[in-house]
């Protein structure tokens, strides 16, 4: 038996109960699904290729900045216009191409801080229009990240969005407890260290607020997480805290399930396999990967350019002769593919580290 046995849609973008059942299966079988930040068709297909070759499900997500880049840097982002249109374009592209890879894909959007809520509002308008026509939302899920706000405001606004998403059975991810570092213009490098660690009572409060609406939600709890990659010792992760969150909520709701929560690991780049393993055993079903993959993509292109330097300095003329053409060296399809190859390799490593290989 594999994950596809619990899914009604075996390949392509999945929604609703399929997302719920996939995360239940992952939690039960102790693996987590990498969430890959994509910014172009090239990064999309690299992630899909790695998941297909590894017989794994995958989560593809756009951030607000990544969505704007998908639209094109020449498009104005006034009123979140480029981010909304880019996210919609990415969603339709992924929906079109994902079935060709034969794997289930969760289509997600990443951190949406309070100042970015107009971006989420625009995407939900597109979701509702798509739902009216197709009976399902355009995206599988969205993240609301109000971790910089008060706990009360965070939960209240997240609950409001969950109520809007509920008729579409659309998954919501929320964050309580700040992820440090900087990503996409949200800078938490100077926050108090204590804010990086979420308390069990807060997790339970979130669980009660959202479970009264529907079961389609996950929680990104802080356990020292930081975006980006830092020198060893500079980041103090404590994934063992996640088991305490599960135990506390289990006790409070008198549940026979020792892991009632679906948890998310943010700031996964640079973490150890042991840290991932501890988190996954505690109910983490999704791990975000971005920084490591950005660097991996660069490496392939960088190495190609260095190796072929004498073949790309002009359209004609190289060490083999002054009249030799160089088109086959500077064709973007050649060097962009080198970036895809190294990204594929790094995504496969993530799938291995998260115990996700051969789970279909």
How many CB atoms are located within 10 Å of the residue 73 CB? 8
Hey, what's the torsion of the CAs at 156, 162, 163, 167, to 10 degrees? Answer: 180
**Per annotation, catalytic residue among 5, 53, 110, 125:** 110
Main-chain dihedrals φ then ψ at residue 324, nearest 5 degrees: -80, 130
CB 288 within 8 A of CB 35: yes
> Can you tell me the distance from the alpha carbon of 190 to that of 182, in angstroms, rounded to the nearest whole number?
10
Phi-psi bin for 184: left (phi > 0), alpha (psi -120 to 50), beta?
left
> Can you tell me the distance from the alpha carbon of 279 to that of 257, in angstroms, rounded to the nearest whole number?
17
- What's the distance, Cα to Cα, between the start and end of the chain in Å? 8
Residue of 114, 145, 139 lying closest to 125 (CA atoms): 139
110 is catalytic: yes
Residues annotated as catalytic (active site), given as ranges: 110
């Amino acid at each position: 038996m594999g994950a596809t046995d619990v899914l009604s849609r075996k390949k392509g973008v999945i929604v609703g109960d399929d997302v719920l059942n996939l995360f239940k299966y992952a939690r039960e079988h102790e693996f987590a699904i990498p969430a890959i930040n994509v910014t172009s068709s090239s990064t999309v297909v690299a992630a899909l290729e790695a998941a297909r070759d590894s017989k794994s499900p995958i989560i593809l997500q756009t951030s607000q900045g990544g969505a704007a880049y998908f639209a094109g840097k020449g498009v104005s982002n006034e009123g979140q216009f480029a981010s909304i249109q880019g996210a919609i374009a990415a969603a339709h592209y992924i929906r079109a191409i994902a079935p060709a890879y034969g794997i289930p894909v969760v289509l997600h959007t990443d951190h949406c801080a309070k100042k970015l809520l107009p971006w989420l509002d625009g995407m939900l308008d597109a979701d509702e229009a798509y739902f009216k026509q197709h009976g399902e939302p355009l995206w599988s899920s969205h993240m609301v990240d109000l971790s910089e706000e008060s706990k009360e405001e965070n939960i209240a606004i997240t609950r409001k969005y969950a109520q809007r998403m509920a008729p579409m059975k659309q998954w919501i991810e929320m964050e309580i407890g700040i992820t440090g570092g900087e990503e996409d213009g949200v800078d938490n490098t100077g926050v108090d260290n204590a804010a990086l660690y979420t308390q069990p009572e807060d997790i339970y409060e979130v669980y009660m607020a959202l479970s009264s609406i529907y079961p389609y939600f996950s929680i990104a709890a802080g356990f020292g997480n930081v975006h980006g990659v830092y020198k060893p010792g500079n980041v103090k992760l404590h994934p063992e805290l996640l088991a305490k969150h599960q135990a506390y909520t289990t006790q409070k709701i008198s549940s026979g399930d020792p892991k009632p929560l679906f948890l998310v690991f943010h700031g996964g780049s640079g973490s150890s396999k042991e840290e991932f393993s501890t988190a996954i055993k505690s109910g983490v079903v999704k791990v975000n990967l971005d920084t490591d993959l950005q660097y991996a993509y660069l490496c392939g292109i960088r190495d190609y350019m260095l190796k072929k330097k004498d073949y790309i300095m002009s359209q004609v003329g190289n060490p083999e002769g002054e009249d030799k053409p160089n088109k086959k060296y500077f064709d973007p399809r050649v060097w962009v593919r080198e970036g895809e190859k190294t990204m594929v390799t790094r995504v496969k490593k993530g799938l291995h580290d998260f115990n996700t290989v051969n789970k279909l």
